[in-house]
A and B are shown apart, each in its own frame.
Chain A
Amino acid sequence: MHRSPALDMPDVPKGQLPPHIELQRTRVLCNFDAPTHTENVQYSGAYSSMGVDNSLRMDQFCNNFRVEVIRLSEDDMEFDMIGIDPSIANAFRRILIAELPTMAIEKVLIANNTSIVQDEVLAHRLGLIPINADPRLFDDLSENDTPNEKNTIVFNLHVRCERGGPRLTVKSNELKWLPHGSEFPLATENTTSSSTSKPKTYTSFSCSQDSLPEFSDKSIGPKHPDIIIAKLGPGQEIELEAHAVKGMGKTHAKWSPVATAWYRMLPEVVLLQEIEDEKAEELVKKCPVNVFDIEDIAKGKKKATVARPRACTLCRECIRGDDWDKHVAIRRVKNHFIFTIESTGALPPEVLFNEAVKVLEDKCERVITELS
C-alpha cells in the first residue's frame, strides 16, 4: 500500500469536522458486539486542531433546542427533547424520580388489626398507595413541627368482615379522608383535659381542610380505588388512621411521583448498501418491530427502506449473522431524547416535568449564589 507522509496529505477543511469524527461526535454506534462512542465530548477545545469550536453556546442551544410532545394522557406522556446534552436530560430524569415532593402515608396509628396482615406490613402497604393530593399545597413536616392542616392529610380506615359472611377484600377506596384531622385522642393526657372543649388528638388542625379554598372543589383520596390493601376473614377487623406527609423520593420510593421516568436516544437505522430483492425481504422479516419496509423500484425489483426507525428496540437482529453489519448500521442520536414519564397520579406528567425544570433551576441558582 502506498504511504504518503503526513505533510503531503491534503488539508482538512477548517471549521468542519471530517465525516467519521462528526459521526462519532453525534451518534452512538450500536455495533453487534458492543456500543461505541457512547459518551459526549465535553471539552470545548476537543476539536480545536480542526478549527472546530466544541464549546456550548447559549444562542446556538436556544436555536436548536426543541421539545415535541408525542403522546400525553392523564398519567403518562412521551415527548422528544432535541438538542440537549445527556447529562441535562439525565438530571431531569433523576429529579423526577427522586427530588419531586409528593404526599404519602408516613404514620399509621393502628387502633385494631385482627387481620392476618401484620401491622408493619399493613403500614408499608398503605405507604405505597399513591395519594391524589397536590404536594405544592402542603408544607414539609419537620421533626419539631406539630402536624396541622398545612402539612398532614389524615385518612381513616375502618373495615370489618362480618362473622358468617364471605371474605372481604379491603381496597384503597376504603381509605376515608378526615379533613378535620385525627380523631384518635392522645393517650397520655386524656384524663386531665377531658372537661375542656375538644380532646387532644394526634394532629392539631386549626381548621378543617375542606374549608380551605384549594381543597373545596376536590376531595383528597387515593388515586386508584382498587389497590388491594388486605383481605379479611370473617370476624376480622382493621381500624386505623393514616397520616400522609410531604416527602421526596430519595428518602423512600413511596414519595416518588413517577412510576418511572426514563429516556432513550432516538434510534437511527441506516442502510449502508442498497438491499434488494430476497435480501430485502429477509431484512423485513428479521425485524420483530417492523422497522423496515419494501419499496418497489423499477423492473419489478424491490428495495429495502427504513420506514420506522423510532420503533427500533435495539434487538440487533438486523445486524446479526453473516455480514449483515456491513449492510445495516444501527445508531442512536446523541442529542435527541425520547423522554417518557409515567406519573403515579398525584400530578399530571406535564406538570411534573415543569416542576423538575424548576427544581433544576433552583439548584443552578443556588450554585450561582453560593459561588458569587
Chain B
Amino acid sequence: MRFKEESVEEKLDHIKRKQEEMSIHKHFPADPVKQAVDKFPLLPEFLKVRGLVKQHLDSFNYFVKTDIKKIVRANDRIVSSVDPSIYLRFKDVRIGEPSITVDGISEKLNPHTCRLSDMTYAAPILVNIEYITGSHVQKTRVEKNDVVIGRMPIMLRSCCCVLYKKDEAELARLGECPLDPGGYFVVKGTEKVILIQEQLSKNRIIIDTDKKGNINASVTSSTESTKSKTVIVMEKEKIWLQLNQFTSKIPIMIVMKAMGMESDQEVVQMVGRNPRYSALLLPSMEECASHGIYTQQQALEFLERKVKKLPFYNPSLEKEGRGMAILRDTFIANVPVRQNNFRPKCLYVAVMLRRMMDAILNKDAMDDKDYVGNKRLELSGQLISLLFEDLFKTMISEVKKTIDAILAKPSRSSRFDFSQFIVRDSITVGLERTLSTGNWDVKRFRMHRKGMSQVVARLSYIGSLGHMTKISPQFEKSRKVSGPRALQPSQWGMLCPCDTPEGEACGLVKNLALMTHVTTDEEESPLISLCYSLGVEDLELLSGEELHTPNSFLIIFNGLILGKHRRPQRFANALRKLRRAGKIGEFVSVFVNEKQHCVYIASDGGRVCRPVVIADKGKSRIKEHHMKELIDGVRTFDDFLRDGLIEYLDVNEENNALIALYEADAKPETTHIEIEPFTILGVCAGLIPFPHHNQSPRNTYQCAMGKQAMGNIAYNQLCRMDSLLYLLVYPQRPLLTTRTIELVGYDKLGAGQNATVAVMSYSGYDIEDAIVMNKSSLDRGFGRCIVMKKFSAVNQRYENNASDRIVRPLKVGHDAERMQILDDDGLAAPGEIIKPNDIYINKESPIITKGPLISPVGLPDSAYKPSRQTFKGPEGEASVVDRVALCSDKNSNLCIKFLIRHTRRPEVGDKFSSRHGQKGVCGTIIQQEDFPFSERGICPDLIMNPHGFPSRMTVGKMIELLGGKAGVSCGRFHYGSAFGEPSGHADKVETISKTLVKHGFSYSGKDFIYSGITGCPLQAYIFMGPIYYQKLKHMVLDKMHARGSGPRVMLTRQPTEGRARNGGLRVGEMERDCLIAYGASMLIFERLMVSSDPFEVQVCRVCGLLGYYNHKLKIGICSTCKNGDNISTMKLPYACKLLFQELQAMNVVPRLKLTEA
C-alpha cells in the first residue's frame, strides 16, 4: 500500500516538475516565439486517403492493374510445336466484376452473400485473344474478346471490389460494415487474409559474417526470369565465390578471368589502388595463378569442370559452355548482360569485393540484417502475382500439350478451334486452394511456404484490424537468436514497438505502425534515364580506376550500379525536389550514404515508409492556414503531398533527414518534423491510454489481450454466420480515449465497459490478481456476454442418387421430448430454447448409398436410418437457437446452418483485464450491501488488489483512473494518447487533478470510504474511479471439467484424455513423485491401476507367460505349457498386458516371476 502511494506521488511529482520546466522554458522571453501548428487533423485525413490496410489494397490494385498485364504480356503466345504457324496470342487481360456463373447465367456477387453461402468472392479473368483457326490449307486469324480463363479471388475494398468507393449507406445496403477495413479475401465463405511477409532485400549487396566468422558479401537476385543467391566469401585470406550451380567454391579471380578480366591490374584498379585493398586481394590472385589460369579460356574450362552435373542435362543443347551460361544467367542475375558484355557484372563484383574489404578493414561497414532498411515486406499482391504467373504458365503448357496431341493426329475431321482448349479450372482451383490452405507451393520459383494466409480473427474489431497489419517473420520461430527479436531503432515510426506476441514468436512477428505505408513497384526506365540526365556518368564510360575515385559517389538504383556522380548531394537534392514537385513517384527514395560513397535510389516494392512534414531551416512548411483549409475541407492529404508540404520517407532516407519531434524542438539544420508522435504505435497499442507511463512489457501484454476482448465485431455482426462469435451485451466507449481510438473507430465498436474500480484489499478472494465483483453490477448487466456458435448440417446426395431427407419430428415416442424445439420442417425454430442433447435437425440418411442409380423419390421409409444431430453445449445451461440459414453448397446440396446463442453473466473464474496488461480472474462475487461506498454513495463495480501496482508499474492505469473520474465529473471525454501531453492529445495529470478538486474530489483520486459490512469508515483513503475493463474470451464455463467414470480408449482401456472427450484427470509423473515421497502407496495403486485400467490375467508359474481363462472348464490355461496346472490369477494394468503382448510380437519374451502365488 505504502509503496503504491509513493510510486503514484513520485510519478505525479515527476510529471509536474517536467511540466513546470517545460512551461518555464516556453515562456522564456529570449526564446523566439514558435507557434506550434497542430498537425493532428492530418491524421484522419491520411487514414481517409490511405486507410488502415492501404498497403494490402495498394498491393492488390497494383497486381490487378499492372502486374497481371505484365505477366500475360511476357507469356502471351501459345505456339503449337507441331505446326508453328498455329498460335494463340493473348492481347490483353483484365479482371471483370465479381460475379458467378451458374448454369450459364452470370450473377453479380457481393462479399456478404459469399460469406453467408460459402462462396468465393471472385471475379472472372477476361482476356482478349487472337488465334489461328482452320485446317492445314486454309488458315484464318480470329479475334475474340473477353474470354474467361479463370476466376480471381477479389480483395475486399480493392479497385475490383463492388465495395470500392462506396459510402456508408451503400455499404449498409450491401450488408457490409462501414468500419470494416477490407484487405482480405472471402474464399469458400471464410475470410482469409494474406499475412505480410518479411524478407531480406532482393538485389542488394549485404555484407555479413557466416557461422565460422568469415566475412561474406551476398546478393539474392530476383528478376522476372531467374532467382539466385550469389555469395562471395573471404576464407583463409582468399576470396571465393559460392554458387549453387558449382560443386565447390571457385576462386574469385578465376571468375573474373572467366568474365574477361584477364588483367590482374585492372581488377586491382577496380577494387581500389589503396595498398590495403591490394594486399587483401593478393592471396586470391596467387591462388588463381597456382591453378595456372591466366586466360578467359582457361578460366571457363576450369568452371566447366566445377559445374554440377544435372541428371537430365543434355550438353548438346548449348553452343557455349555451361560455365559461361551460369555466369551470364545465374551469377548475380540482377545485373543484365547485354550482347555478352560482362563489364557491368565485373564492376558489380568489384564493388562487392570493395565493400567486403571495407568490412574487413573496418568492422563498422558490416551490414545489419535486422535493419529495417534492408528488409522488404511482401504483400498479398506480390504473392498472388507469383501464384498467378505459375498457374498461367502451367495452363499455357497444358493447352500446348493438348493442341499438339490433336494436331499430331493424322486425320483431323472437325474444325479446330483454339479457344476451346483454354482451360479455366486450373487457375480458378489453384488460386482458391492456395488461398484457403495458405500453402504457397510454387515449384517454378522454388517456393514452399506454409501458413501464408490465415482466417481473419473476428474475435474483436481490434483483433481483425491487428491481423491485417501483422507481419510474419522470415525466420523459423525455433531459432534461438536474440538479434532478429530485438527492437531495432530503425523500426521507429514504421513498426509498432509494443505489438508483438509473447513466447516463441516474440519479436519476430511484428505489426505495422499507424502511418506506415508499404510501397509497390514503380516503373524503372524513366527514373534511370532521369538519373542520367541529372548528370550521372554512365558506367560504360568509366575505367576501373575511376570507379572509386574520392569525391564522387556511385549511383545505385534498385541495386544496380548506374554510374558515378561528382556532386552527390546536389544530385540527391535535385531528385528530391522533383519528387516533391510530383514529377517522379512519391515513394521513390534517395539516400546518400556518405560512408560507402554511394547514392541509393530505390523505387522497388515492399519498402516501408511514412509521411513526415518537410521543414525548411527548422521551420515547418505546414502553416496555420494550411491546417485551416484542411479543416474547412478545401484541402486534402494529397494536396499536402502535391504542394510539397509532406513527403514519404523510407527507412534509408530517414538517415539523411534530421526529424524533430515537435516544431518547437526544431533546430536550423532540421529537415523534417514528425506529424504526431503517437503514430509510432500500431492499432492495438493505440488503444492504451497513457502507454508512455507504463512499463513497456505491460503494453505488449495489452496488445495481445486486446485481441481477445469481447465487444462488438462489426456493424453487421448480427447478420454474420461466424463459427464462433463473442459479443458483449452492453459495450461501452472508453471514458479515457486516445486519438488512435477515434481514428480506428474503436469508440464505435468498443470491447469493454467502464467499471468503477476501488483499489483496495477485500475479502482475501482478490489475491494473485483476482478481482472482486459487485453482484448488483452484474445483475444490472456488467460483463454480460453472448456466445454464438455455428452448427451446420448438409443434406447429402449420394452416388446412387439417393439423398438425405429431413423429416417431420415425432410427436410421441421416446425421442419426442428431444425434438420439442423442431418445427414441422424438421429444423429447430429460431427463438427456441435448446438444451444439451436436444435434436436440432431431424435428418435421415438412406441405408444404401452405393450401387446402381435409384430414383430419389418413392424410397420407402424403411430405406432410411435416422442421422439426427444433437446439440452439445454446456451442461445444465439453456441456449437459444438464434438463426437458421439455408443455402446450397458447391455440389448444390442443401446446407443448413444453425446459430446457437448463449447469454452468460460473469461468474467466478471469468477473465477480465484492464487496458494495461493487468489481467485477472473474478475471485468472488459479493452483494452490493457488503461493498464499500463513498461519501457520495458511489459503490464500486469491482475491487482490485493494490498489489497489482508496485511490481507492474502501470502508472498509466492510475492516470486512466484519475482521468476517467475527472471525465465523469466534468462531462468531457479525457484523452490519453501516447506522448500526447506536449501536443494536447493527452490530459496532464495536473489539470486532471484540478478538475477533480473543482468537483470536490481529492486531487489524488482517493476517496473517504465506508465499509459496507461494519458501517465504519475505512482507515485509509481509497483510490477509486472508472477504468475501462475488457472481458476476455476465456470463461470457466468453456473450461471446467471433472468426471467420475467415463469413456475409455479402446486400445489401452485407460480413460480418455481431454475435456472434449470427457476425459479423466491424469495423475502425472510429478504428482506420482509427490505421492511416492509422501509414502501414499495405496493411493498410487488406486489412481494408477484401480481407477484406470485394471485387468485380470492368468499367469503360468512355470513359463511366466500369460495364459487365458477357459470359461467352459472354468480354469486358467497356459497356452505355452498346454495345461492349466500352474496357473495363478493376478491383476495388472491392461496397458502392461498390452506391452507384454507387443513385446512378444517383436520376439522379446517377457516372463513374470511370481514370488507368492
**Beta-carbon contact of B1008 and A35 below 8 Å:** yes
Q: Does B871 contact A (CB under 8 A)?
A: no
Q: A35-B1019, A39-B1014, A332-B1017 are in contact. Are A118 and B901 (CB under 8 A)?
A: yes
Distance in Å: Cβ of B497 to nearest Cβ of chain A: 38
Q: Does A250 contact B (CB under 8 A)?
A: yes
Nearest B residue to A94 via CB reads B929
Nearest A residue to B879 via CB reads A120
Nearest B residue to A251 via CB reads B779
**Beta-carbon contact of A98 and B1019 below 8 Å:** no
B residues less than 8 Å from A121 (CB atoms): 729, 784, 786, 903
**Beta-carbon contact of A340 and B1017 below 8 Å:** no
A116 to B727, CA, bound (A): 13
Interface flags for A25-43 (1: CB within 8 Å of B; 0: not) read 0001010001110111000
**Beta-carbon contact of B903 and A314 below 8 Å:** no
A166 to B1020, CA, bound (A): 55
**Beta-carbon contact of B997 and A317 below 8 Å:** yes
A317 to B1006, CA, bound (A): 12
Nearest A residue to B727 via CB reads A118
**Beta-carbon contact of B1016 and A39 below 8 Å:** yes
Interface stretch among A139-147, A252-260, A359-367?
A252-260
**Beta-carbon contact of B1015 and A314 below 8 Å:** no
Q: A38-B1016, A315-B1000, A317-B997 are in contact. Are A118 and B903 (CB under 8 A)?
A: yes
**Beta-carbon contact of A289 and B780 below 8 Å:** no
A40 to B1011, CA, bound (A): 13
Within 8 A of B (CB), among A38-75: 38-40
**Beta-carbon contact of B1000 and A253 below 8 Å:** no
Interface stretch among B377-385, B393-401, B645-653, B933-941?
B933-941
Nearest B residue to A260 via CB reads B937
A99 to B480, CA, bound (A): 62
**Beta-carbon contact of B831 and A113 below 8 Å:** yes
Q: Does A83 contact B (CB under 8 A)?
A: no
Within 8 A of A (CB), among B548-580: none
Complex partner residue of B1016 from A86, A249, A313, CB under 8 angstroms: A86
Distance in Å: Cβ of A185 to nearest Cβ of chain B: 17
Interface flags for B968-1007 (1: CB within 8 Å of A; 0: not) read 0000000000000000000000000000111111110001
A35 to B1007, CA, bound (A): 11
Q: Does A97 contact B (CB under 8 A)?
A: yes
Within 8 A of B (CB), among A323-372: 332, 340, 342
Q: Does B1012 contact A (CB under 8 A)?
A: yes
A186 to B1089, CA, bound (A): 55
Within 8 A of A (CB), among B3-20: none
Within 8 A of B (CB), among A240-267: 249-250, 252-254, 256, 260-265
Complex partner residue of A264 from B776, B935, B996, B1020, CB under 8 angstroms: B935
**Beta-carbon contact of A35 and B929 below 8 Å:** no
**Beta-carbon contact of A86 and B831 below 8 Å:** no
Interface flags for A109-121 (1: CB within 8 Å of B; 0: not) read 0100100101111
**Beta-carbon contact of A89 and B1003 below 8 Å:** no
Distance in Å: Cβ of B731 to nearest Cβ of chain A: 12
Q: Does B781 contact A (CB under 8 A)?
A: yes
Q: Does B928 contact A (CB under 8 A)?
A: yes
A152 to B1014, CA, bound (A): 36
Complex partner residue of B779 from A89, A254, A288, CB under 8 angstroms: A254
B residues less than 8 Å from A124 (CB atoms): 729, 781, 784
Complex partner residue of B1002 from A93, A119, A264, A315, CB under 8 angstroms: A315
Q: Does A14 contact B (CB under 8 A)?
A: no
Distance in Å: Cβ of B22 to nearest Cβ of chain A: 23
Nearest B residue to A39 via CB reads B1016
Q: Does B775 contact A (CB under 8 A)?
A: yes
A residues less than 8 Å from B999 (CB atoms): 288
Within 8 A of A (CB), among B929-956: 929, 933, 935-937, 939
Q: Does B1080 contact A (CB under 8 A)?
A: no
Secondary structure call for the A interface: mixed
B residues less than 8 Å from A40 (CB atoms): 1016
Q: Does B1021 contact A (CB under 8 A)?
A: yes
Distance in Å: Cβ of A6 to nearest Cβ of chain B: 30
A residues less than 8 Å from B528 (CB atoms): none
A residues less than 8 Å from B1002 (CB atoms): 314-317
**Beta-carbon contact of A315 and B779 below 8 Å:** no
A residues less than 8 Å from B766 (CB atoms): none
Q: Does A320 contact B (CB under 8 A)?
A: yes
Complex partner residue of A320 from B784, B1001, B1003, B1017, CB under 8 angstroms: B1003
A97 to B775, CA, bound (A): 12
**Beta-carbon contact of A315 and B1014 below 8 Å:** no
B residues less than 8 Å from A289 (CB atoms): 1000
B residues less than 8 Å from A24 (CB atoms): none
Q: Does A169 contact B (CB under 8 A)?
A: no
Q: Does A128 contact B (CB under 8 A)?
A: yes
Complex partner residue of A262 from B786, B937, B996, B997, CB under 8 angstroms: B937
**Beta-carbon contact of B933 and A262 below 8 Å:** yes
Q: Does A173 contact B (CB under 8 A)?
A: no
Q: Does B1018 contact A (CB under 8 A)?
A: yes
Nearest B residue to A89 via CB reads B1015
Distance in Å: Cβ of A84 to nearest Cβ of chain B: 10
Q: Does A87 contact B (CB under 8 A)?
A: yes
Interface flags for B1014-1030 (1: CB within 8 Å of A; 0: not) read 11111111000000000
Distance in Å: Cβ of B1 to nearest Cβ of chain A: 10
Complex partner residue of A38 from B933, B935, B1019, CB under 8 angstroms: B1019
A residues less than 8 Å from B1001 (CB atoms): 313, 315
**Beta-carbon contact of B1018 and A35 below 8 Å:** yes
Distance in Å: Cβ of A276 to nearest Cβ of chain B: 24
- List 5 A-B pairs, minimum CB-CB distance, nearest first: A90-B1015, A253-B779, A313-B1000, A262-B937, A253-B776
Q: A34-B1020, A97-B776, A116-B718 are in contact. List 5 more A-B contacts (CB 8 A).
A: A87-B1015, A254-B779, A315-B1001, A317-B1003, A332-B1017
B interface residue numbers (CB < 8 A to A) = 718, 729, 775-776, 779-781, 784, 786, 831, 880, 882, 901, 903, 927-929, 933, 935-937, 939, 996-1003, 1007-1008, 1010, 1012-1021
What are 24 inter-chain pairs, A to B, with CB distance below 8 A? Answer: A28-B1017, A34-B1021, A35-B1008, A35-B1019, A38-B1017, A90-B1015, A93-B929, A98-B929, A113-B831, A118-B901, A120-B880, A121-B786, A124-B729, A250-B929, A253-B775, A256-B928, A262-B937, A262-B939, A265-B1017, A313-B935, A313-B1000, A314-B935, A315-B996, A317-B1003
